[in-house]
Amino acid sequence: MSDKKAILKTINEQSIRFIDLWFTDILGGIKSVTLPASRTEHLLENGNHIDGSSLDGNARVAESDMLLRPDLDTFMILPWTKGDELTARFICDVHTPQDEPFIGDPRFALKNATVKAEKNGYSFKTGVEMEFFLFPTDNDRQPLVSPLQDYSGYFDMSEDTALSLRRKMLLHLDAVGICAESSHSEIGYGQHEIDFAYDDALVAADKLMTARVALKTIAQKHDLHCTFMPRPASHMPGSGMHTHQSLHDGTNDENVFVDTNHEYGLSQLAQYFLAGQLNHARAMTAIFAPLVNSYKRLGTSFEAPVYVSWAHVNRAALIRVPSISPGGESHTRLELRCPDPSCNPYLAFAVMLHAGLDGIQQKMELPTPLEESLLMQRRQRLRQIESLPDSLGEALEALRQDDVVLSALGAYISDRFLEAKTQEFDDYNRMVTQWELDHYLTRY
């Protein structure tokens, strides 16, 4: 709904009482400002002022005043609010006091990337498979890793409570205009996956952020905690956010990755795009796997990639070309398997697109696919294959050295992201863990 009059009419007819303004900080956290619905007309005309330090928690005084401009296309009624608390929501772009787009807004970074694609005649589409855990909570609503919410395995017929809750989640997602193509139980006990429909990258990122709020809210209403932490327990598999992606012709929307004469069904353009992502993979990992905990998923959890490689069948590869049914060539796509659900999707999609476009611009050569299981290869062969970073610190160093990925973020976001994540990694390294106490305290 992008018409101001229609929005105001809906607010009046539906007796909506409040308006939530959502925006995203650099680290991927959703921020919110709530207004009484009576302020909507003023909001649509003038925006709403906020403290800009909320974007990264470390803004300079000169950058403290910012303006939220609601994206009218993102207006929706939040179905988990009722009666006197009935609330509608806008996702907002962050502007400067001069009403110019703020370079520290992650949504603006993705918009910039899509504009770059459009200038080259393409649109960028994505779809994600998002995994998450549901844990019971104690009397203080704190999550309990044990006992678990359910004990279903991979694609099992879930226990009634888990299956019922997933259905409620799908109903609420549908109510906010998010099409979930499927859902199922995952490998870990209490772990679930929801697969989201393909869409333009900006729309997909908006819907993903909305889904995170919806899933957490519905879980909380059932005395559960929904977490997108990459690996919440060492005895459990990690949660990923496999991202499917393709470029489309900006005029007729045809998928430009398709070439039915190629062994893998990939056009030359798709091969360049894939090569570009492989070339920048190590630097992008800091964005795709942004937590210290992310690296306890990569390389250790089931089917989480280790090597910078691509394949068709091999699910250990970083990027996979999924099988396409005869007649379904328009669905040709690349599946990037290292992102996890803690990442900021606006930044993740922006760097994916920049890296792929760099591959096209430079006409990068695509390496040979590695179809055989990398785990079965001899050590000598493994030493010849570039690996993903094995820690947040290593990923941040790779990011610092990659001008293409840094330019996708912009100087403001990249500086603050590196500063915040370096501090996080340093704090982690100074922490004395229970493992160290268990192994060393009485031994030495």
Instruction: Count Cβ atoms within 10 A of the Cβ of residue 70 and give its class: 0-12 exposed, 13-18 middle, 19 or more buried.
Output: buried
Instruction: Give the residue carrying structure tokens 């855990």.
Output: 133
Residue 154 has what pLDDT? 54
pLDDT of the residue at 151: 59
- Kindly list the distances between the CA atom of residue 419 and the CA atoms of 10, 291, 303, 405, in Å, as whole numbers in the listed order: 43, 13, 31, 16
Residue type at 288?
F
Provide the pLDDT for residue 316: 82
- State how far the Cα of 275 lies from the Cα of 256, in Å rounded to an integer: 16
10-residue mean pLDDT profile of the chain (444 residues): values are 88 96 94 95 94 61 77 95 95 94 95 97 97 89 72 55 82 90 80 93 97 94 93 90 96 94 94 98 98 91 82 88 85 96 98 98 93 56 79 98 98 95 96 94 94
If you write DSSP's letter for every residue of 341-394 in order, what string do you get?
TTS-HHHHHHHHHHHHHHHHHHTPPPPPP--S-GGGS-HHHHTTS-B--SSHHH
pLDDT at 136: 87
Q: From the centroid of its chain, how far is CA 99?
A: 28
Can you give the pLDDT at residue 80? 93
Q: Strand 18-24 relative to strand 87-95: parallel, antiparallel, unpaired?
A: parallel
Cα→Cα distances 347→17, 114, 288, Å: 33, 12, 9
**CA–CA dist 171, 289 (Å, integer):** 29
Those residues whose C-beta lies under 8 Å from the C-beta of residue 377, and which sit 6 or more positions away, are none
Domains and CATH numbers, the chain: 11-101 (3.10.20.70), 112-435 (3.30.590.10)
pLDDT of residue 160: 57
At residue 181, the 3 state secondary structure works out as strand
Report which residue type is found at 302. F
A 10 A CB-CB count for 72 gives 14
